[in-house]
Structure 1
Amino acid sequence: MKYIEAFKESDRISDIYLIKHKQSAVTKNGKPYENLILQDKTGTIDAKIWDPNSAGIDDFEVLDYVEIFGDVNSFQGALQVSVKRVRKSHEGEYDPADYLPVSSKNIDDMYSELLGYISKLSNVYLKKLLESFFVEDQAFVKSFKMSSAAKAVHHGFVGGLLEHTLSVTKLCDYYTKAYPVLKKDLLIAAAICHDMGKTRELSLFPENDYTDDGQLLGHIVIGSEMISERAKQIEGFPKVLLAEMKHCILAHHGEYEYGSPKKPALIEAVALNFADNTDAKMETMTELFASTTENGWLGYNRLLESNVRKTSEI
C-alpha cells in the first residue's frame, strides 16, 4: 500500500483508502463534481471526482473503504488526487489499522505507567475515585485508550488522549518536586482526570468527531460531571475534596475565552493549567515540524498565535 505521506505530484495511485469526507458540488459552469478527503494512518489528502456519473464510479459513503484509481497533482501549492475510478471495498480486503492515525508510543505501556501513578496515591478517596474509572470500568478503559485528545490541533490520533494525559501527569509530578507547596495527590489525580470528558466529547475513530454532548457541553463540563457522579458512589467522599478536584478540571484551560468556566483559584489548578498548555503547544509544534520539510516560516498557527519556524542548525 502506498501511504498518503509518500504521495508526490504525478504519482498514479490504485490503493484502498478511507473516505473521511464526501460532498457534492458544482463547478462555475454548472457541472457536478464531488469533493473527497481520503485518509490513512499517515494523514489525509483532498480528492476530486470530476465526473461522478461515469461508469467507473461505484456508489459509496463517508467512512467506507474504497479502492481509488487516480492521479496526484498539485493545486495552489497543495497535493490533491484527481479520481478516475472508485470501487467500494469489502471487509477482508483491508486492515483498518492502516487507516487510523495511531500514537507512535505503545498504548499498553503508557497505560501501565499511568496506573503506576494511581497506585501511588495516598489519599484513599482520590485513589478509589480513579480506580473506579481506570481499573474497574472496562468500558471506560477501552474508550480512554482508543480516544484522541482532539479532533485536530494536537494528539489527534488513537492513543492521543492517553499520551497527552501521561505527559501532563509527568509534568505535574515534576512540579510537585520543584514546588513542595503543591498537594501532590490532588494535582496528580486532577492531571489524570483533566481530559477524561473527551471520551464522551469525541466519537472514536474513524469518525473522531464531536458528539451531541461534545457540542452542547464540552469535555470540561462533561469531565466535572463524571467526577461528581462517581464520587457520590464512594461513601464519605469529602465535599471539599470533591469541589477542589472539580475546580482543577473546570479551570484547566486557564481562561474563559479558552473554554474554562472558572479561572484557577487553587495552586494545583494553576499548575495543571501550565502543564496542559505546555504539552498541547509542544506537541502542536512537534507535529507541525514533522509534517513538512520546509525550514522557513510555516505560517500563522491558531493555537500558538504566531508565525512559526524550525530553529536553525547553527
Structure 2
Amino acid sequence: MKFIKDLTPGDRIADIYMCKHKQSATTKNGKEYYSVILQDKTGTVDAKIWEPNSDGIDEFDDTDYIDVFGEVTSFNGAIQVNVKRARKCHEGEYDPSLYLPVSSKDNDEMYKELLGIIGTIKNPYLKKLLEEFFIQDEAFITAFRKSSAAKTVHHGFIGGLLEHTLSVTKLCDYFCTAYPILKRDLLLTAAICHDIGKTRELSLFPTNDYTDEGQFLGHIVMGAEMVGDKAKEIPDFPVLLRQELQHCILAHHGEYEYGSPKKPSIVEAVALNLADNTDAKMETFTELLGNITTPGWQGYNKFFETNIYDSKMDM
C-alpha cells in the first residue's frame, strides 16, 4: 500500500483508502463532479471524481472504504488525486488500523502513567474528583483514551487527548519543582482535567468532527461544567477550590482571542496556559517536520506566522 504521505505528482495509485468526506459539486460549466477527502493513518488528500456517473465509479459514502485507481497530480501547490475508478470495499478486504491515525505511544502505558500521577495527589477532594472521572467512570475513560486532542493542528489522532494531557501534566509537575509558589495538587488536577471537554466536543474516529454540543459550547466551557458538576457530587467539596479549578480550565488558552473565556487570574492558571501552549506548539512543529521530504526552508506557515526551516540535515 502506498500511504498518502508518500504520494508525489505523477504517481499512479491502485489502493484502498477510507472516504473521510464526499461532496457533490458543479464546475463552472455546470458539470457535476465529486470532491472527496481520502484518508489513511498518515493523513488525508483531496481527490476529484470528474466522471461520477461512469461505469467505473461505485456508490459510496462517508467512512466507506474504497478501492481507488487514479493519478496523483498537483493543484495550487497541493497534492490531489484524479480518481478514474472507485469500488466500495467489503469488510475483510482492508485492515482498519491502516486508515485511522493512532498515537505512536502505547495507550496502556500512558494511561498507567497518568493514574500513577493521580495517585500522588494529596488533597482528598481533588483526588476523589480525579478518581471519579479516571477510575470509576468507564464510559468517560473509554472516550478519553480514544479521543483526539483536536480535529487538526496537533494530536489529531486516536489517543491524542491522552498523550497531550499526560505531556501537559508532566510539564506542570516540573513547574512545581521549579516554582514552589505553585499549588501542586490544584495545578496537576487542572492539567489532567483541562481538556476533558474534548470527549464531548469531538466525535470519535473515523469521523473526528465537531458535535452539535461542541459547536455551541466548546470544550473549555464543557470541561469547566463537567468538573463543576462532579465537584458538587462530592460532599463538602470546598467552594473556593472548585472555583479555582474551574478557573484554570476556563483560562487555559490564556487570551480571549484564542477562545479563552477568562484570562488567568491565579498563578496555577498561568502555569497551565504555558504548559498547554508549549505542548501544543511542540507537537505541531513535530508533526510539521514529520511531513517534510526535502530539508531546508519550507515557506511561510500560518500557525507559527513565520518561514519554517527544517534543520534535521544539519545534525
Q: Same-fold call, TM > 0.5?
A: yes
Conserved 8 A contact 1:281-1:303: no
Does residue 313 of the first structure (1) align with residue 298 of the second (2)?
no
Greater displacement, 4-13 / 139-148: 4-13
1:209-256 CA-partner distances (Å, limit 9, x unpaired): 111111110000000000011111111111011001001000000011
- Report SS of the residue matched to 1:182: coil
Does residue 175 of the first structure (1) align with residue 157 of the second (2)?
no
Distance 1:92 1:64 in 2: 13
- Structure 1 alignment gaps of length 5 or more: none
- Report SS of the residue matched to 2:298: coil
1:31-55 CA-partner distances (Å, limit 9, x unpaired): 2211111000011111111100101
How do 1:69-218 residues align onto structure 2 when only pairs under 5 Å count?
Answer: 69-218=69-218
- Report SS of the residue matched to 2:55: coil
How do 1:247-258 residues align onto structure 2 when only pairs under 5 Å count?
Answer: 247-258=247-258
Distance 2:254 2:301 in 1: 20
Aligned length: 314
Q: Counterpart of 1:279 in structure 2: which amino acid? A: D
Q: Which residue of 2 aligns with 1:288?
A: 288
Deviation at 1:24, TM superposition (A): 1.6
Identity of aligned residues (%): 67
Distance 1:87 1:264 in 2: 53
Greater displacement, 208-217 / 292-301: 292-301
- Report SS of the residue matched to 1:196: coil
Distance 1:299 1:259 in 2: 27
- Structure 2 alignment gaps of length 5 or more: none
Conserved 8 A contact 1:14-1:70: yes
Greater displacement, 46-55 / 71-80: 71-80
- Report SS of the residue matched to 2:169: helix
Q: Counterpart of 2:239 in structure 1: which amino acid? A: K
- Report SS of the residue matched to 1:309: strand
Distance 1:241 1:76 in 2: 53
1:144-180 CA-partner distances (Å, limit 9, x unpaired): 1111110111111111111111110010000000001
Q: Counterpart of 1:110 in structure 2: which amino acid? A: M
TM-score normalised by the chain length of structure 2: 0.96
Distance 1:162 1:138 in 2: 15
Q: Counterpart of 1:266 in structure 2: which amino acid? A: I
Does residue 59 of the first structure (1) align with residue 72 of the second (2)?
no
Greater displacement, 8-17 / 272-281: 8-17
Q: Which residue of 1 aligns with 2:243?
A: 243
- Report SS of the residue matched to 1:232: helix
